[in-house]
Amino acid sequence: MPSTATLHYFDDPGRAEATRVALAYAGKDFEDNIMGFPEYGASKWAGIGLPVLEMDDAEYTQSTALLRYAGKLGGLYPDDALAALKVDEIVMIAEDVMANMFKCVDQKDDTMANGLLEGKIKTLVEMLTSRLAANASSKFFVGHPPTIADLQARVHAVIKNFEANFLTGLPTTHIADTAPTLMEMQAALLEDPKPITGEGVLRFQGVNIRRMIEEKGLHPLATVGMAEDI
Protein backbone atom coordinates (compact mmCIF):
# COMPACT_ATOMS: atom_id res chain seq x y z
CA MET A 1 0.00 0.00 0.00
CA PRO A 2 1.48 3.39 -0.96
CA SER A 3 2.54 5.71 1.85
CA THR A 4 0.49 8.49 0.28
CA ALA A 5 -2.89 6.78 0.61
CA THR A 6 -5.82 8.98 1.66
CA LEU A 7 -9.22 7.77 2.78
CA HIS A 8 -11.97 10.35 2.29
CA TYR A 9 -15.17 10.15 4.34
CA PHE A 10 -17.47 12.08 6.62
CA ASP A 11 -16.93 12.76 10.32
CA ASP A 12 -18.82 9.68 11.40
CA PRO A 13 -18.08 5.96 11.31
CA GLY A 14 -20.59 4.96 8.64
CA ARG A 15 -19.18 2.94 5.77
CA ALA A 16 -15.53 3.86 6.34
CA GLU A 17 -14.88 2.82 9.92
CA ALA A 18 -14.37 -0.90 9.33
CA THR A 19 -11.84 -0.03 6.62
CA ARG A 20 -10.09 2.42 8.96
CA VAL A 21 -9.83 -0.30 11.58
CA ALA A 22 -8.61 -2.88 9.06
CA LEU A 23 -5.90 -0.53 7.78
CA ALA A 24 -4.78 0.22 11.33
CA TYR A 25 -4.80 -3.51 12.10
CA ALA A 26 -2.50 -4.02 9.12
CA GLY A 27 -0.18 -1.31 10.43
CA LYS A 28 -0.69 0.84 7.35
CA ASP A 29 -0.33 4.59 7.53
CA PHE A 30 -2.97 6.60 5.72
CA GLU A 31 -4.43 10.07 5.81
CA ASP A 32 -7.93 10.02 7.24
CA ASN A 33 -9.48 12.98 5.45
CA ILE A 34 -12.67 14.00 7.23
CA MET A 35 -15.10 15.87 4.98
CA GLY A 36 -18.09 17.97 5.96
CA PHE A 37 -21.27 17.76 3.92
CA PRO A 38 -20.73 21.19 2.29
CA GLU A 39 -17.18 20.20 1.37
CA TYR A 40 -18.43 16.93 -0.05
CA GLY A 41 -21.13 18.71 -2.03
CA ALA A 42 -18.50 20.91 -3.65
CA SER A 43 -16.08 18.06 -4.30
CA LYS A 44 -15.56 16.02 -7.44
CA TRP A 45 -17.14 13.06 -5.66
CA ALA A 46 -20.53 14.69 -5.17
CA GLY A 47 -23.12 12.30 -6.52
CA ILE A 48 -20.59 9.47 -6.72
CA GLY A 49 -20.39 8.71 -3.04
CA LEU A 50 -17.93 8.19 -0.24
CA PRO A 51 -15.74 6.59 0.99
CA VAL A 52 -13.01 7.06 -1.60
CA LEU A 53 -9.47 5.73 -1.22
CA GLU A 54 -6.80 7.61 -3.19
CA MET A 55 -3.52 5.83 -3.96
CA ASP A 56 -0.87 6.55 -6.58
CA ASP A 57 -3.03 9.10 -8.40
CA ALA A 58 -5.88 6.60 -8.67
CA GLU A 59 -9.23 6.64 -6.86
CA TYR A 60 -11.12 3.61 -5.57
CA THR A 61 -14.72 3.52 -4.38
CA GLN A 62 -17.27 1.10 -2.87
CA SER A 63 -16.90 0.50 0.84
CA THR A 64 -17.03 -3.30 0.71
CA ALA A 65 -14.28 -3.44 -1.93
CA LEU A 66 -12.14 -1.10 0.17
CA LEU A 67 -12.76 -3.23 3.25
CA ARG A 68 -11.68 -6.40 1.43
CA TYR A 69 -8.53 -4.68 0.21
CA ALA A 70 -7.66 -3.44 3.69
CA GLY A 71 -8.41 -6.87 5.10
CA LYS A 72 -6.03 -8.55 2.68
CA LEU A 73 -3.24 -6.21 3.74
CA GLY A 74 -3.47 -7.26 7.37
CA GLY A 75 -4.46 -10.90 7.25
CA LEU A 76 -8.11 -10.15 7.96
CA TYR A 77 -9.28 -11.71 4.70
CA PRO A 78 -8.59 -15.42 4.11
CA ASP A 79 -6.79 -16.88 1.11
CA ASP A 80 -8.88 -20.04 1.18
CA ALA A 81 -11.80 -19.73 -1.24
CA LEU A 82 -14.42 -21.30 1.04
CA ALA A 83 -13.32 -19.27 4.05
CA ALA A 84 -13.45 -16.12 1.90
CA LEU A 85 -16.98 -17.05 0.83
CA LYS A 86 -18.00 -17.36 4.48
CA VAL A 87 -16.47 -13.97 5.29
CA ASP A 88 -18.17 -12.31 2.32
CA GLU A 89 -21.50 -13.80 3.34
CA ILE A 90 -21.26 -12.24 6.81
CA VAL A 91 -20.19 -8.90 5.37
CA MET A 92 -23.21 -8.82 3.07
CA ILE A 93 -25.64 -9.99 5.76
CA ALA A 94 -24.41 -7.07 7.84
CA GLU A 95 -24.95 -4.79 4.84
CA ASP A 96 -28.52 -6.06 4.63
CA VAL A 97 -29.06 -5.18 8.29
CA MET A 98 -27.90 -1.64 7.57
CA ALA A 99 -30.08 -1.37 4.46
CA ASN A 100 -33.14 -2.39 6.44
CA MET A 101 -32.31 0.11 9.17
CA PHE A 102 -32.28 2.87 6.57
CA LYS A 103 -35.82 2.03 5.55
CA CYS A 104 -36.84 3.64 8.84
CA VAL A 105 -35.17 7.00 8.20
CA ASP A 106 -38.16 8.97 6.93
CA GLN A 107 -40.82 7.27 9.05
CA LYS A 108 -42.85 9.44 11.42
CA ASP A 109 -43.33 6.67 13.98
CA ASP A 110 -41.81 3.34 14.91
CA THR A 111 -44.28 1.08 13.13
CA MET A 112 -41.85 0.11 10.39
CA ALA A 113 -38.93 -0.23 12.81
CA ASN A 114 -40.90 -2.58 15.02
CA GLY A 115 -42.00 -4.61 12.01
CA LEU A 116 -38.42 -4.94 10.79
CA LEU A 117 -37.20 -5.96 14.23
CA GLU A 118 -39.66 -8.83 14.25
CA GLY A 119 -39.24 -9.56 10.56
CA LYS A 120 -36.28 -9.04 8.25
CA ILE A 121 -33.78 -7.77 10.82
CA LYS A 122 -34.64 -10.63 13.17
CA THR A 123 -34.02 -13.11 10.36
CA LEU A 124 -30.69 -11.51 9.46
CA VAL A 125 -29.49 -11.41 13.07
CA GLU A 126 -30.46 -15.06 13.47
CA MET A 127 -28.38 -15.84 10.38
CA LEU A 128 -25.41 -14.11 11.99
CA THR A 129 -25.75 -16.02 15.25
CA SER A 130 -26.09 -19.31 13.40
CA ARG A 131 -22.85 -18.61 11.54
CA LEU A 132 -21.11 -17.86 14.82
CA ALA A 133 -22.40 -21.11 16.30
CA ALA A 134 -21.08 -23.03 13.30
CA ASN A 135 -17.50 -21.92 14.02
CA ALA A 136 -16.36 -24.08 16.91
CA SER A 137 -12.75 -22.89 16.72
CA SER A 138 -13.32 -19.42 18.21
CA LYS A 139 -15.85 -16.74 19.05
CA PHE A 140 -15.29 -15.16 15.64
CA PHE A 141 -17.33 -15.79 12.50
CA VAL A 142 -14.71 -17.61 10.42
CA GLY A 143 -11.70 -19.49 11.76
CA HIS A 144 -9.70 -18.38 14.77
CA PRO A 145 -8.16 -14.96 14.03
CA PRO A 146 -10.64 -12.12 13.46
CA THR A 147 -11.59 -11.19 9.90
CA ILE A 148 -13.31 -8.28 8.24
CA ALA A 149 -16.57 -10.13 8.91
CA ASP A 150 -16.13 -9.43 12.62
CA LEU A 151 -15.22 -5.79 11.99
CA GLN A 152 -18.20 -5.30 9.71
CA ALA A 153 -20.66 -6.83 12.17
CA ARG A 154 -19.23 -4.94 15.11
CA VAL A 155 -18.33 -1.53 13.75
CA HIS A 156 -20.48 -0.79 10.75
CA ALA A 157 -23.74 -2.52 10.51
CA VAL A 158 -25.01 -4.33 13.55
CA ILE A 159 -23.85 -4.07 17.15
CA LYS A 160 -22.74 -0.46 17.45
CA ASN A 161 -25.55 0.96 15.36
CA PHE A 162 -28.09 -0.43 17.78
CA GLU A 163 -26.09 0.63 20.84
CA ALA A 164 -25.69 4.15 19.46
CA ASN A 165 -29.43 4.60 18.85
CA PHE A 166 -28.59 4.82 15.17
CA LEU A 167 -32.26 5.13 14.34
CA THR A 168 -34.87 6.17 16.82
CA GLY A 169 -37.24 3.27 17.40
CA LEU A 170 -34.59 0.57 17.30
CA PRO A 171 -33.81 -0.36 20.92
CA THR A 172 -30.19 0.13 21.94
CA THR A 173 -30.03 -3.21 23.77
CA HIS A 174 -31.58 -5.25 20.97
CA ILE A 175 -28.43 -7.20 20.08
CA ALA A 176 -27.42 -7.75 23.70
CA ASP A 177 -30.92 -8.99 24.48
CA THR A 178 -31.45 -11.22 21.47
CA ALA A 179 -27.98 -12.23 20.25
CA PRO A 180 -25.54 -12.53 23.17
CA THR A 181 -23.05 -14.49 21.06
CA LEU A 182 -22.57 -11.38 18.92
CA MET A 183 -21.60 -9.53 22.07
CA GLU A 184 -19.15 -12.33 22.90
CA MET A 185 -17.64 -11.90 19.44
CA GLN A 186 -17.22 -8.19 20.14
CA ALA A 187 -15.54 -8.90 23.48
CA ALA A 188 -13.13 -11.31 21.80
CA LEU A 189 -12.35 -8.73 19.12
CA LEU A 190 -11.60 -6.07 21.70
CA GLU A 191 -9.16 -8.39 23.45
CA ASP A 192 -6.94 -8.29 20.37
CA PRO A 193 -4.39 -5.47 20.83
CA LYS A 194 -4.08 -4.66 17.13
CA PRO A 195 -7.48 -3.11 16.36
CA ILE A 196 -7.56 -1.10 19.59
CA THR A 197 -4.19 0.63 19.28
CA GLY A 198 -3.79 3.92 17.51
CA GLU A 199 -5.85 7.07 17.46
CA GLY A 200 -9.29 6.66 15.98
CA VAL A 201 -9.30 2.87 15.88
CA LEU A 202 -12.57 1.30 17.04
CA ARG A 203 -13.62 4.83 17.93
CA PHE A 204 -17.25 4.35 16.98
CA GLN A 205 -19.44 6.89 18.75
CA GLY A 206 -22.54 6.36 16.68
CA VAL A 207 -24.80 8.67 14.75
CA ASN A 208 -28.55 9.01 15.14
CA ILE A 209 -29.61 9.53 11.54
CA ARG A 210 -32.98 11.10 12.31
CA ARG A 211 -31.33 13.57 14.65
CA MET A 212 -28.65 14.37 12.10
CA ILE A 213 -31.29 15.07 9.49
CA GLU A 214 -33.12 17.40 11.85
CA GLU A 215 -29.98 19.23 13.02
CA LYS A 216 -28.49 19.64 9.55
CA GLY A 217 -31.80 20.45 7.91
CA LEU A 218 -31.47 17.54 5.53
CA HIS A 219 -34.43 15.85 3.94
CA PRO A 220 -34.03 12.07 4.17
CA LEU A 221 -33.81 11.76 0.40
CA ALA A 222 -30.91 14.20 0.44
CA THR A 223 -28.75 11.48 1.95
CA VAL A 224 -29.29 9.28 -1.08
CA GLY A 225 -26.26 9.72 -3.30
CA MET A 226 -24.51 11.72 -0.59
CA ALA A 227 -22.64 8.55 0.18
CA GLU A 228 -23.14 4.87 -0.36
CA ASP A 229 -24.81 5.24 2.99
CA ILE A 230 -24.06 7.46 5.94
Model pLDDT for residues 51-71, shown as the tens digit of each residue: 999 999 999 999 999 999 999
Q: Which helix (H) or strand (E) holds 71?
A: helix 63-73
Q: What is the pLDDT of residue 59?
A: 95
Q: What is the pLDDT of residue 54?
A: 96
For the chain, give percent helix, strand, coil, nearest 5. Answer: 50, 10, 40
Q: Domain spans of the chain?
A: 81-196
- Can you tell me the distance from the alpha carbon of 112 to that of 66, in angstroms, rounded to the nearest whole number? 31
- Can you tell me the distance from the alpha carbon of 3 to that of 76, in angstroms, rounded to the nearest whole number? 20
- Can you tell me the distance from the alpha carbon of 223 to that of 123, in angstroms, rounded to the nearest whole number? 27
CATH class of the region 81-196: mainly alpha
Q: Are 229 and 156 spatial neighbours (Cβ–Cβ below 8 Å)? A: no
Quote the pTM value: 0.80
Q: What is the pLDDT of residue 173?
A: 82
Vertex 151: Cα angle to 32 and 112 (nearest 5): 100
Q: What is the pLDDT of residue 91?
A: 94
Q: What is the pLDDT of residue 25?
A: 84
Q: What is the pLDDT of residue 165?
A: 63
DSSP string, 99-153: HHHHTTTT-SSSHHHHHHHHTHHHHHHHHHHHHHHH-TT-SSSSSSS--HHHHII
Q: What is the pLDDT of residue 43?
A: 92
Q: What is the pLDDT of residue 203?
A: 46
Q: What is the pLDDT of residue 209?
A: 37
Q: Which residues of the chain have pLDDT under 50?
A: 197-230
Q: What is the pLDDT of residue 197?
A: 45
